[in-house]
Structure 1
Amino acid sequence: MKSFSALAFLSFVSVAVAFSEPAGHHYQAPGPNDERSPCPGLNALANHGYLPRNGKNMTVPQVLNACLEGFNFDWAPLLIPAKQGLLTSTDKSSETMMSLEPLVLHNLIEHDASLSRSDYQNGTGDALHFNATIYSVMANSNPGSDYYNLTSTARVMYERLQYSIATNPTLINTMNEVTGRAATAALALTSMGNATTGVAPKKFVDILFREERLPFLEGWKPSPVLVTGELLGPPHRRARRRVELDREPALRAYRPRPREWSISRACERDACSCDDWQAAVQASVMA
């Protein structure tokens, strides 16, 4: 009887150890003065302390190192998006820092027809915070299976696009947005599941989106292999191709990107030379 009790205890301990959060990276919900972005992945990294928990004043290397440590994502495929984040900074004293909340700047990294956020709609929509109703399209996809894959997620992307076409008169849906949505889907599936096939357990993906938490306690681990651009490429292309199988509705919904899209809203600076500041940051992005 004693040996059985000891065995049961050891089994419990082994499970508890196997499904624990890494030291120094426990989940902590954001406080009232902390910032979060439209990206559940970045928010989860901040909630676990891979990024500053307040979501403020981060450098590009900090963001890239957080993605490497938290998800085992290589720097290379994320370098340009990370540098683009500098364009959202409202701190005229620094050209090398960014914070999470300004990443909601429309159509830089944030985009319409998101899997989990409302469309911007000229500022009337909440493109920053998680929307459970919108995410229900994803949550109800691939019925009868306990996983999401590229096929099911592409159908969700298409359904979300059709909804935006019908309800958002300011929808922007160029090939840049198609590419961005495919990249978002590929990153979500490869970070939570198999980085080669793009198959991910529903419970892991749902926790990431709904709670902005890394599901360590449920048995998730970062990819055992470094997720490089070469590894991300096939899932990204497959997700994009599946969405483009019916191109006509997307093309009918095409609206050219406004000329003022790039940084006009983020560049409300009093005495500084906005043109000089923007040129410097854009040069940094292209570096």
Structure 2
Amino acid sequence: MNILSAFMISFLVAAVRCESDIDWNAHQWQAPLPTDLRGPCPGLNTLANHGFLPRNGSNITIPIVLKAINDGFNFESTNLIRSGAKLGLFTTDAEDSFNLNDLALHGTLEHDVSLSRSDFALGDNIHFNETVFSTLANSNPGVDFYNVTSAAQVLEQRLAEDNILNPTLINTVKEFTVRIVESGFYLSVMGNVTTGVAPKNFVQIFFQEERLPLEEGWKRSEVPIGDDNFNALLAGIKNASTWAPSGEVICPWIRIQPEGPVVVVKG
């Protein structure tokens, strides 16, 4: 290898590192103020608490949320992430942005059988619920990690628990898909997207405190989380589950106008 080639390789490596480096001093965790808006998604709340999203939780556009997810988690703009970001606009009357608390609109992105929130029909579907989260927190006993198998078991256990508490819960393929995505999300961004294994303490801090566990040793994924590796992880969770749909076969995306009829866009 000649000197010029070595120089070019060193330059390219440095450029890649420069592009991927995050100034964590600018993204220290801060507890939200009483006036800051937060919603039912721990991932987006965490990004707001670290300043990747506006800390007040307001006026979030699709480009802003896609950049925040990539910067904070090294999660690329996958088809699922883009779709989720666009669906956020269905929860508000604003033309091109949403607030984090808008996402609590029942039936769009928010859903029954959450890993960390109560169902809409049972009361508070925005704030973290320790009792609900205990199903995940206590899963995979005897080891210090969660994995694909335990994630699938948690989905099944939460559904069984919720069926008792909320006989009107919605459990179509849409809700199941969102729940699988959420499970794959915590396994990948708090752990390893390839192995589907995440340390328990990282996951618990993520949900309970809505904080990136930097002090505990967490690091942003070195491998970009994208369509291929993330979809493979989702397939593993799905295959490990014995889920079956119940209730309505049609799974609409629902937008309830403040003073008007329900607008249904069938998916």
* TM-score range relative to shorter protein: 0.7 to 0.9
1:231-242 alignment, distance < 5 Å: 231-242=229-240
Pairwise CA distance, 1:257: 5.4
Quick one: higher RCO (CA 8 Å, sep 6+), 1 or 2? 1
Cross-structure match for 1:60: 62
Q: Distance in 2 between matches of 1:45 and 1:155?
A: 27
Measured in 2, the distance between the counterparts of 1:177 and 1:242 equals 17
Distance 2:251 2:227 in 1: 30
Q: Percent identity?
A: 46
Tell me the TM-score normalized by structure 2: 0.86
Q: Alpha-carbon deviation of 1:106? A: 1.1
Choose which of 251, 258, 262 in structure 1 pairs with 2:254.
262
Q: Which amino acid counterpart does residue 103 of structure 2 have in structure 1?
A: L
Partners of 2:251 and 2:41 in 1: CA distance: 23
What's the offset of the Cα at 1:269? 5.3
Amino acid at match of 1:147: F
Partner of 1:131: 129
**Corresponding position of 1:101:** 101
Q: Larger C-alpha radius of gyration, 1 or 2?
A: 1
Amino acid paired to 1:255? E
Q: Name which of 28, 34, 37 aligns with 1:35.
A: 37
1:242 & 1:25 partners in 2: Cα distance? 36
Q: Which segments of structure 1 move beyond 4 Å, counting only runs of 4 or more?
A: 256-259
Instruction: Give the direction of change, closer, same or farther, for the CA distance of 1:29–1:208 in structure 2 (3 Å limit).
Output: same
C-alpha displacement of 1:169: 2.0
Say which of 88, 91, 102 aligns to 1:88: 91
Letter aligned with residue 268 of structure 1: P
Looking at structure 2, the residues matched to 37 and 231 of structure 1 have their Cα atoms a distance apart, in angstroms, of: 28
Q: What SS does the corresponding residue of 2:223 show, helix, strand or coil? A: coil
- SS in structure 2 of the partner of residue 23 of structure 1: helix
Indicate the residue corresponding to 1:160 in structure 2. 158
- For residues 208 and 93 of structure 2, the distance between their equivalents in structure 1, rounded to whole angstroms, comes to 28
> Are the structure 2 counterparts of residues 231 and 258 from structure 1 closer, same or farther at C-alpha, using a change threshold of 3 Å?
closer
Aligned residue runs from structure 1 range 157-236, under 5 A: 157-236=155-234
Cα shift at 1:241: 2.1
Instruction: Give, as a single letter, the amino acid of the residue that structure 2 aligns with 1:80.
Output: S
Task: Report if the CA contact (8 A) 2:173-2:251 is conserved.
Answer: no
Residue type of the alignment partner of 1:116: S
- In the TM superposition, what whole-angstrom CA distance separates every residue of 1:175-226 from its partner, at most 9, and x where no partner exists? 1111111011001110000111110000000000000000111110111011
Aligned length: 244
Gaps of 5+ in 2: 1-22
TM-score by structure 1 length?
0.80
Shift of 1:255: 3.2
Letter in 1 for 2:44: L
SS of the equivalent of 1:262 reads strand
- Offset of residue 76 of structure 1: 2.2
Indicate conservation of the 8 Å contact 1:178/1:240, yes or no.
no
Report SS of the residue matched to 2:219.
Answer: coil
Question: Which amino acid in structure 2 is aligned with residue 81 of structure 1?
Answer: G
- Where structure 1 has 5 or more consecutive residues not aligned to the other structure, the ranges are 1-20
Aligned to 1:11: none
Q: What is the Cα deviation at residue 258 of structure 1?
A: 7.8
